[in-house]
Copies of this chain bind each other. A is one copy, B any other.
């Protein structure tokens, strides 16, 4: 399966990424770009996007980038820094890049930018690469 086919297959059954409104722009082995429009139901009590929204988008982008090589990957440890607030109607651009890919471990970095090209969050994720292929 090609990177795009794998990601389409993953998205098809992924009810939560569908709820988020994830739109996949580009995908290749180890990287992925997607976008998402922030809705009212994604806000927290400060009327900015809940930290879980940018985390979820980053985690989906990590999964797509890591799995696009063809082997099934499971996330082990992830961290995120929220550096600028995200508001309703913001159009987010999510970019996942590969920092390292070994035999059993991969590390990915995901940055999210708003429509003014300002970084809003930075994520790092470590995955375990299984021996099962897509």
Contacts and interface: CB of A to CB of B under 8 A. Distances in A.
Given A17-B44, A44-B16, A76 B77 contact: yes
A124 B82 CA distance: 14
Contacts of A28: none
A45 B9 contact: yes
Contacts of A91: none
Interface SS, A side: mixed
Given A14-B43, A128-B128, 20 more contacts: A10-B45, A16-B53, A17-B44, A50-B56, A51-B78, A52-B53, A52-B55, A52-B57, A53-B56, A76-B77, A76-B105, A77-B80, A81-B100, A83-B100, A83-B102, A83-B105, A99-B111, A99-B122, A122-B124, A124-B124
